[in-house]
């Protein structure tokens, strides 16, 4: 079988304490980001804070500087994004956040369209789509998204507990939490909005990370049967990680080809989603090697069950 990575004998378990320090730092950043999202002080998208979003396309070219000059006087927090490679040329996304009501959101949209019509009188534009979310709906969506993440992680514990054992379930869940928090923290540090696309990406990467961890745990279970009488638990785990390393690398690199292409070619709308998945694949691969299995090793060292 073709192998990009030859057979290895790397002591991954031996550097687990260094990896734990790195992971704790990532989790701390993620917890901070989670608190800001929970309290509503993070940079929330209009899905969660409420607001107005409009896609418009002009007949003739308009620079983004001209758009900002027109709109930021009355809407200083308006977000204007130029869509390059969009199906229509000269297209923009305009967002305003946090209206007091859905009616105020509609009022923002009408005012913006009036200002653009007046400023670019000789350059007609088309409103391709518009999206208005009131603050109450945004708050409901935010709570629903938090519940979706929580219930999915509880499901992961149950699934791994049934398939392997309780310790493996806890370790896999910690690794999945680690990945979700790390990516959430990095994305918010980079200034990206917390919106429904980011929640979708976080749930997707949780599933990816879990699948990668299950492959390693499956190999550990197989090797424990072979090594139970003559080996050590940490050695069996280290051997298992090395045996699936090529498979882990091949899977990760092929998924990265897709999500990185999506980041550069998928357009502005999908950029947040693609970047979160790119980070998720990298962090998920790291955690399946340096977080999930080493946790089980540490637990076994303190309270032996398999090799006692």
Q: Which residues pair with 151 in a beta bridge?
A: none
> What is the overall mean pLDDT for the chain?
83
**What whole-number distance in Å separates Cα of residue 134 and Cα of residue 163?**
43
DSSP string, 223-260: HHHHHTTTS-HHHHHHHHHHHTHHHHHHHHHHHHHHHH
115-150 per-position pLDDT tens digit: 888 888 888 888 888 877 776 666 777 777 778 777
* Closest alpha carbon to 287 in 211, 219, 223: 211
Max mean pLDDT among 29-33, 61-65, 147-151, 296-300 falls in 29-33
- Please give the Cα distance from 208 to 287 (Å, whole number): 11
Supply the pLDDT for residue 226: 74
Q: What percent of the chain has pLDDT over 90?
A: 15
The whole-number pLDDT of residue 308 equals 43
Between CA 222 and CA 81 the distance in angstroms is 52
| 8 Å CB contact between 275 and 256 | no
User: Does the pLDDT at position 5 exceed 50?
Assistant: yes
pLDDT tens-digit profile of 44-55? Answer: 887 777 788 888
Distance of CA 30 to the CA centre of its chain: 11
How far is the C-alpha of 215 from the C-alpha of 50, rounded, in Å? 41
| pLDDT one-digit tens code per residue, 172-198 | 888 888 999 999 999 999 988 888 888
């Amino acid at each position: 079988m073709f192998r990009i990575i030859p057979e290895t004998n790397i002591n991954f378990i031996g550097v687990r304490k260094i990896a734990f320090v790195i992971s704790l730092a990532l989790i701390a950043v993620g917890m901070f980001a989670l608190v800001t999202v929970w309290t509503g002080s993070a940079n929330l998208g209009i899905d969660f804070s409420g607001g107005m979003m409009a896609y418009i396309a002009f007949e003739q070219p308009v620079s983004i500087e001209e758009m900002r000059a027109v709109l930021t006087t009355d809407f200083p927090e308006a977000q204007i994004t130029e869509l390059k490679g969009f199906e229509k040329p000269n297209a923009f996304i305009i967002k305003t956040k946090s209206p007091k009501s859905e009616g105020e959101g509609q009022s923002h949209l009408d005012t913006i369209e009036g200002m653009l019509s007046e400023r670019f009188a000789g350059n007609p534009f088309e409103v391709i789509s518009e999206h208005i979310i009131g603050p109450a709906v945004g708050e409901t969506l935010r709570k629903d998204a938090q519940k979706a993440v929580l219930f999915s992680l509880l499901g992961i514990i149950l699934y791994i507990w049934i398939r392997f054992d309780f310790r493996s379930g806890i370790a896999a869940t910690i690794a999945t939490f680690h990945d979700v928090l790390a990516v959430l923290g990095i994305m918010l540090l980079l200034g990206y909005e917390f919106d429904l696309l980011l929640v979708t990406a976080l749930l997707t990467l949780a599933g990816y990370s879990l699948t990668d961890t299950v492959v390693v745990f499956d190999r550990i279970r197989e090797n424990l049967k072979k090594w139970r009488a003559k080996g050590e638990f940490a050695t069996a785990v280290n051997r298992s990680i090395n045996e699936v390393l090529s498979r882990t690398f091949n899977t990760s690199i092929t998924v990265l080809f897709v999500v990185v292409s999506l980041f550069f070619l998928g357009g502005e709308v999908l950029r947040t989603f693609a970047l979160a998945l790119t980070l998720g694949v990298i962090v998920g691969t790291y955690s399946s090697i340096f977080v999930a299995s080493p946790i089980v090793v540490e637990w076994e060292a303190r309270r032996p069950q398999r090799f006692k």
